[in-house]
Amino acid sequence: MPQQFIADTGNLYADLSEYYDQFCAEVDYARQCEFAERAFACFASSGGREYLDLACGTGQHLADMQRRGFVASGLDNSAHMLAQAQLRCPDAQLLLCDIAAFEQVAQFDLITCFLYSIHYSRPTAALAQTLRRAWLALKPGGLFLFNAVDVAGIRNDKRVTTQLQHEDASLRFESGWEYRGEGDVLDLFLHITKESAADTRCWSDHHTMTAVTFPQLRLMLEEVGFQVTLLEHDYDVLKPLGGKAFNAIVVATKS
């Protein structure tokens, strides 16, 4: 009998959230957190270890930063993702909220937003609001750390693929950004294929994100009041960004 093939749509952060950690199987969370701790030691001067992760997802950064002695809080607009973060980090404070809408004031020493999630603030006005919220939520001397992509570096034909075996199924994840050539929309296309003895299932997901250039992003951060340094997108070194790079780690301090 021919194997059944089922094609569907789904949302990686909702009905498909059980696959999220496998989707990120190749993300080195420990390395990113080690980098965050190093950057925090170099750039922050607020004195405490209160930590907030924006778009915290299933809480992988929260758990690692707790092990490093930070008091962790996480924020995400997906109840599905937060439910998993809650299981992973029962002691963390978790907030179901849009990253442009949290209202804490002068509470945190370190705020992070990894895996390009800052681009989920849509449209550009919401992104500006997120940066402002982060500035308000930091104590003086606090650090806002996130990674970002300059739209000038988006290649519509570039895809990232991860393949792994999970239980008795073979999983394949494919993701890629596409830029329409004008405007501030950055499309993210995701495809998941799960092949088991019984059937092959395949889901497609599409997210709209915000496209910015690094000069625009720097200006938006500076307008809020941040001091900004762009670093190479390399979690092994703290190195200023070279001229032609389109991925960066953004260090923004509230002086």
Ligand X SMILES: C[S@@+](CC[C@H](N)C(=O)[O-])C[C@H]1O[C@@H](n2cnc3c(N)ncnc32)[C@H](O)[C@@H]1O
Enter the tokens of residue 129. Answer: 């609001």
Q: Stretches 36-44, 71-79, 196-204, 215-223: which one binds ligand X (CB under 6 A)?
A: 71-79
Smallest gap from residue 246 Cβ to ligand X (A): 18
Q: Stretches 35-43, 49-57, 140-148, 159-167: which one binds ligand X (CB under 6 A)?
A: 49-57
CB 208 within 8 A of CB 178: no
- For 79, the enclosing helix (H) or strand (E) is helix 79-88
CB 201 within 8 A of CB 211: no
Enter the tokens of residue 101. Answer: 């809408």
C-beta of 34 vs 98, nearer to ligand X: 98
Exactly one of 16, 44, 56, 118 binds ligand X (CB under 6 A); that residue is: 56
Exactly one of 120, 173, 214, 235 binds ligand X (CB under 6 A); that residue is: 120
Smallest gap from residue 83 Cβ to ligand X (A): 11
Q: Report the alpha-carbon distance of residue 180 to residue 188 in Å, rounded.
A: 11
Q: Of residues 171-210, which lie at the interface with ligand X (CB under 6 A)?
A: none
- Tell me: does residue 30 bind ligand X (CB under 6 A): no
- Tell me: does residue 98 bind ligand X (CB under 6 A): yes
Exactly one of 16, 44, 62, 81 binds ligand X (CB under 6 A); that residue is: 81
The per-residue b/e assignment along 207-222, b for 16 or more CB within 10 angstroms, e otherwise, is bebbbbebeebbebbe
